[in-house]
Amino acid sequence: MFIEFTQEQTMFQGAIRDFAEKEIAPLVEEAEEKERFPVALFPRMGALGYLCVSHPAKYGAGELGKVGDCIAVEEIARIASGIASAIMVQGGIGTVILVRQGTEEQKQKYLIPAIKGEKIAAFALTEPNAGSDAAAIQTTAVKEGDSYVINGTKMFITNGPIADFVVVMSYTDKEAGPRKGMSAFVVEKGTPGFTVARKLSKVGNRSAETGELAFQDCRVPAENLLGEAGEGFGYMLATLARGRVSHAARSLGVARAAFEASLQYAQERVQFGQPIARFQAIRFKLARMATDIEAARWLMYRAAWLVDNGQERMKEVAMAKFFASEVAQQAVTEAMHIHGGYGYMSEHPVQRYYRDAKLFTITEGTSEIQQTIIARELGI
């Protein structure tokens, strides 16, 4: 069982924390205001080995496993959840199927440039009428000669407006159902019939660019099929399971940021002749926040450790994602209360944590979906 970081992981944690504080933090205000991801971060992080850190070393990645990936996500999310979202997709759902199912040619063409930060990746599953019910997607890919013709619309796609390639989930055989009829394809930016229909404006996580993608008679070569035709649903489930551990790490990072800001503020803010941290009401809030964050940390890193040791258990993954996202909700709410009116002001980062955290119980499987998975794994 995972107990503590190795020396390598500890060194990486210090390095990525330092990078986030020095290189990412100065970019956050402008990125949030303009709702634009600072794309220069991709090649910068790629050159330092900070992208796709869990992927194999043979392709230029760090091969630090899921634990390493979660270390990076936690530290970046502590600074900016939106920026962490884009980085998560690059090293997670946007490229994991390539690592697991891609041909060597596909890895050379897409994976290696993604690891270097030369190409930006996205993953397109959700549709206007298919969210939690992923099997209900309507996008189709029809085989015509040595090509597939894709038609459909994808919604809420992180990195969609800036992606150089997108992994698109489509039905190749609707009659066979999702488990034998869904397939995954790589679609490159600029492919005729593939357009960014619109960029979406969000309440939080504004530095992550999110879009609606349209595919109209979009013809892609058959060689862009990932893995086997009809096996995409299984690939997708495995990808999402691993991604949910990263989402737990993002929740943990934001919860930490809210707690650290609250602890400092409570020690500095004086009311009735003493720092508010001396009042039991505030002390107990901070004590509970610290405890919940520590519990979320153990659940999340244990789930990551299980993934790294070939034990991708759905129950533990769902528990980590569910609990960490709920902890983040509670932490940012308490942070707003502790900061009072100052926290509600737009110039204070606490209001950003508050807005960002709301997404965590919705995306990549709602809290209700996670509880459904946990209950199913319990046999009920």
- Looking at domain 234-377, its CATH architecture is Up-down Bundle (1.20)
Per-residue pLDDT, 311: 85
Per-residue pLDDT, 162: 98
Q: Which of 104, 364, 368, 377 is catalytic?
A: 364
Per-residue pLDDT, 2: 60
Tell me whether residue 364 is one of the annotated catalytic residues: yes
Rounded Cα gap, residues 194 and 214, in angstroms:
6
DSSP string for 201-260: P-SS-TTS-EEEEEEEEEEEEGGGEESSTTBHHHHHHHHHHHHHHHHHHHHHHHHHHHHH
Beta bridge partners of 140: 151, 171
Rounded Cα gap, residues 331 and 297, in angstroms:
14
For 146, phi then psi, to 5°, come to: -100, 25
Per-residue pLDDT, 107: 98
Topology of domain 7-116 in CATH is Butyryl-Coa Dehydrogenase, subunit A; domain 1 (1.10.540)
Per-residue pLDDT, 17: 98
Looking at the chain, the domain(s) classified CATH 1.10.540.10 span 7-116
Looking at the chain, the domain(s) classified CATH 2.40.110.10 span 121-230
Looking at the chain, the domain(s) classified CATH 1.20.140.10 span 234-377
Please report, to the nearest 10 degrees, the dihedral formed by the alpha carbons of residues 159, 161, 167, 168 taken in order: 130
Per-residue pLDDT, 312: 73
Per-residue pLDDT, 313: 85
- Contact by Cβ (8 Å): 52, 60: no
- Contact by Cβ (8 Å): 120, 114: yes
Mind listing the pLDDT tens digit of every residue in the chain (380 residues)?
567 899 999 999 999 999 999 999 999 999 999 999 999 999 999 999 999 999 999 999 999 999 999 999 999 999 999 999 999 999 999 999 999 999 999 999 999 999 999 999 999 999 999 988 999 999 999 999 999 999 999 999 999 999 999 999 999 999 999 999 999 999 999 999 999 999 999 999 999 999 999 999 999 999 999 999 999 999 999 999 999 999 999 999 999 999 999 999 999 999 999 999 999 999 999 999 999 999 999 999 999 999 999 887 899 999 999 999 999 999 999 999 999 999 999 999 999 999 999 999 999 899 999 999 999 999 99
Highest CATH level, class, for 121-230 = mainly beta
- Contact by Cβ (8 Å): 183, 170: yes
In the DSSP assignment, the letter for residue 61 is S
Per-residue pLDDT, 1: 59
- Contact by Cβ (8 Å): 196, 209: no
In a 3-state reduction of DSSP, which class is residue 186?
Answer: strand
Rg, C-alpha atoms of the chain:
21
